[in-house]
Structure formats: C-alpha cells, structure tokens
C-alpha cells in the first residue's frame, strides 16, 4: 500500500513540475511576443498543475490509518479527488463550448505567429508524453485521480493540435474554422468529463462487481475441502485496493464446528492473500445426495427455477421435526415485485408443507 501511495505522489510531482515549467516558458514567450493566447495557455497549464496537486493531497489523506471514527479507513477520499478533477475537466469543456458558440455567432479575425505555433507544437509533445505516463500509472495503481489527470493532459493535446490545424488552414486557404473546431472538441471534452466523473461516482454508490473476479473467487473457494458450493459473494469497496467481503458456502449438514472453523480460516486466507479482501463466511447446510430431503429440494428447485425472473436458488434446508423449511431465491432486477414472487412460492409449498414455518430469502443479483 505504501509503495502505491509513493508512486502516485511521485507521478503527481512529475505532473506539477512539468506543467509549471511549461507554463513559465509559455508565459515568458507570451509576454515577450505580446500573444495573449499563449499567456492564457500558460494559465491553463497552471490549472493542470493544480489537478496534480489535488491528486497528491487526496492520496495522502486516503493513506491515513483507520481510527475510531472511520474504522474502514479513508481510502474513499481518492474517489472524491477524482470527482473534483473530473468536474474541472467538465467545467473546462462547457466553458470552451460556450466561448466557441460565441465565436461561431460573432466570428473574429484570428492571428497566428510562427513563434506561437512552435510553442504550441512543443507543448503538444510534452503534454502527450505526460498524459500517457500519468494515465498508465493511474491504471497500474487503480487511481481514478491519476487517470483523470492524465486524460486532462491528453485532452489539452487535442485542443492544441486543433489550434495548429486551424492555424494552418487559415494561413494556407484563409478558412476561419477555429470556433467550429473548438466546439467539436469541447463536446469531446464534455463527453470525457462525464465518463470520468461517473467512474468514481459509481464506486461510491456501489457498482456491480467484476464478473470475472467473482468467478475466480468462487472457483478457488470451491476447491477448499468440505465446500460444496459458493453463493452470495458481496464485496464492499472502501477505496482502491481496500475491499471487505462476505460469502456463503454450502457444506454437509453433519459437519462439526471444528471443521467449520477450519473451512472458514482456509477461505479467509485465500481471500486475503490472493485478493486482498477481508471476508466474512456464512454457511448453508447441504442434504446428502439420495436422501429424502435432497429429493424434496430437487422438486422445489424444479418449480422455482421455472418461474419468471428467477436466476438461482440455494441454501435449501428442511427440518421435519421442527417443521421448518428455508431457502434463498436469486431474482433479476427486472422483476418489479419480488415480494409477490415469494408469496406465490409460499402458497405453492402449502400443499406439501402445511403448518411449516417457511423462510424464503430474496437475494439480489449482486454479481452475476
């Protein structure tokens, strides 16, 4: 975790340094040449340095240890910093679009100098490599803030390239398409800003877990001795690389507490060491194959799985002495009235289990 934090901070400092040097160079050239456009571009680079600073502050705050007030740590702060940077990009895109529309309505004569275009071209090269490097580091260390910051640099490259293209067309053919080109690019920036904004927002809201990750977890847990099935895998995200989870496993109904403890520890070790997830383990009792209870389960399963909106059924257990029947149904989110589904199944069961306490859990489709 410390190495991840150090790498993100180091990348942030590289972003700050690069943008400040670029901004200072542009400012000097802009003042000397009298080009307000270059001076404003220097101000834009200063704003880019601010996004790198926000990333550094965010990852440092997120790295604080858990305490009494926040027992799950401060990892989610990184999502807030990513939201701030994404909002900055979105605001820049909207502002640019407004100014572009004004330019389309009231076109102004554009003036370009060789020095100015050379400065812009040099900036494109610098910002491109900075953007690629920052974004790659963000993907490597699961940092939405770095990804957003890198994308911001790449967007600046697109804007600068568009400026150069517009200038060339103006110098060669007298075409003034600067505002139209800026409007089109502004729309791309807004689209990118919205997409980047949704990533950390979805993390905070709680998005569906990666199906491949869930499949991998189930595959490894099923290999633990004594486990017959794996269900109800739920993962909670408290920041990049900070997850807490829970799952249920099905075991034989005659297993002893000592063996349950062994299974629990084995699963928790797998989850912690291979996935970095602290996991709570629950159990379902499995009726041995060929027993009357197993045949009852097969009958109930055949009926339940044939109902509309049902994706799965597990945790079946019946106790004829205590007159108790229980199982869980996994239903689709497109099913608008799951309570009605449960009531219909209970009504169907009354013919064979009259007088029984029937418990049917309704499980949402969290990961499959």
Name the CATH superfamily, with its identifier, for domain 287-368: Cation efflux protein, cytoplasmic domain (3.30.70.1350)
Kindly report the pTM of this predicted structure. 0.74
What's the pLDDT score for residue 42?
66
Each residue's pLDDT, cut to its tens digit, for the chain (368 residues) gives 558 888 999 999 999 998 888 888 777 766 665 544 555 566 667 777 888 889 899 888 888 888 899 888 888 898 899 899 889 888 888 887 888 788 788 876 666 667 777 877 888 898 899 999 999 998 888 888 888 888 888 887 877 787 778 777 777 777 777 778 778 878 888 888 898 899 889 888 888 888 899 999 999 999 999 999 999 999 988 887 688 999 999 999 889 999 999 999 999 999 999 999 999 999 999 888 888 999 999 999 999 999 999 999 999 999 999 999 999 999 998 888 999 999 999 999 999 999 999 999 999 887 76
CATH architecture of 2-205: Up-down Bundle (1.20)
Say yes or no: domain 217-283 is CATH 3.90.870.10: no
Q: Which residues contact 217 (CB under 8 A, 6 or more apart)?
A: 230, 233, 247, 271, 275
What's the pLDDT score for residue 37?
53
The reply to whether 2-205 and 217-283 are identical in fold is no
What's the pLDDT score for residue 288?
85
Which three-class secondary structure state does DSSP give residue 141? coil
φ, ψ at 279 (rounded to 5°): -125, 140
Whether residue 85 contacts residue 53, with contact meaning beta carbons closer than 8 Å, is answered with no
Domain ranges of the chain: 2-205, 217-283, 287-368
Positions of E strands within 6-114: none
Residue 199 tokens, joined: 């990533």
Rounded alpha-carbon distances, angstroms, from residue 3 to 13, 77, 159, 195: 15, 18, 34, 28
């Amino acid at each position: 975790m410390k190495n991840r934090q150090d790498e993100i901070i180091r990348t942030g400092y590289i972003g700050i340094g690069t943008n400040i040097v670029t901004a200072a160079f542009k400012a000097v050239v802009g003042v000397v040449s009298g080009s307000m456009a270059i001076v404003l571009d220097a101000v834009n680079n200063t704003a880019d340095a601010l996004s790198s600073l926000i990333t550094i502050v965010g990852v440092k705050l997120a790295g604080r240890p858990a305490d009494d007030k926040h027992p799950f740590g401060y990892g989610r702060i990184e999502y807030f910093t990513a939201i701030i940077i994404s909002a900055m990009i979105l605001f820049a895109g909207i502002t640019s679009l407004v100014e572009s529309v004004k330019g389309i309505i009231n076109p102004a004569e554009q003036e370009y100098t060789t020095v100015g275009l050379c400065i812009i071209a040099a900036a494109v090269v610098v910002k491109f490599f900075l953007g690629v490097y920052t974004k790659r580091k963000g993907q490597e260390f699961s940092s939405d803030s770095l990804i957003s910051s890198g994308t911001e640099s790449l967007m600046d490259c697109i804007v600068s390239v568009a400026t150069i293209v517009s200038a060339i067309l103006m110098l060669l053919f007298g075409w003034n398409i600067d505002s139209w080109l800026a409007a089109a690019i502004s729309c791309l920036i807004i689209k990118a800003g919205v997409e980047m904004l949704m990533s950390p927002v979805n993390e905070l809201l709680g998005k569906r877990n990666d199906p491949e990750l869930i499949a991998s977890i189930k595959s490894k847990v099923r290999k633990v001795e004594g486990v017959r099935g794996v269900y109800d895998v739920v993962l909670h995200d408290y920041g990049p690389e900070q997850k807490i989870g829970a799952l249920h496993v099905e075991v034989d109904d005659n297993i002893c507490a000592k063996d349950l403890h062994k299974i629990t520890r084995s699963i928790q070790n797998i989850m912690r060491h291979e996935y970095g997830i602290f996991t709570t383990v629950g159990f379902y009792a499995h009726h041995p194959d060929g027993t009357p209870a197993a045949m009852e389960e097969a009958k109930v399963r055949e009926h339940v799985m044939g109902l509309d909106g049902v994706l799965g059924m597990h945790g079946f257990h019946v106790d004829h002495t205590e007159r108790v029947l229980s199982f869980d149904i996994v239903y689709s989110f497109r099913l608008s009235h799951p309570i009605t589904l449960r009531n219909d199944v209970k009504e169907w069961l009354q013919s064979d289990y009259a007088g029984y306490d029937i418990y049917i859990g309704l499980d949402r489709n969290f990961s499959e």
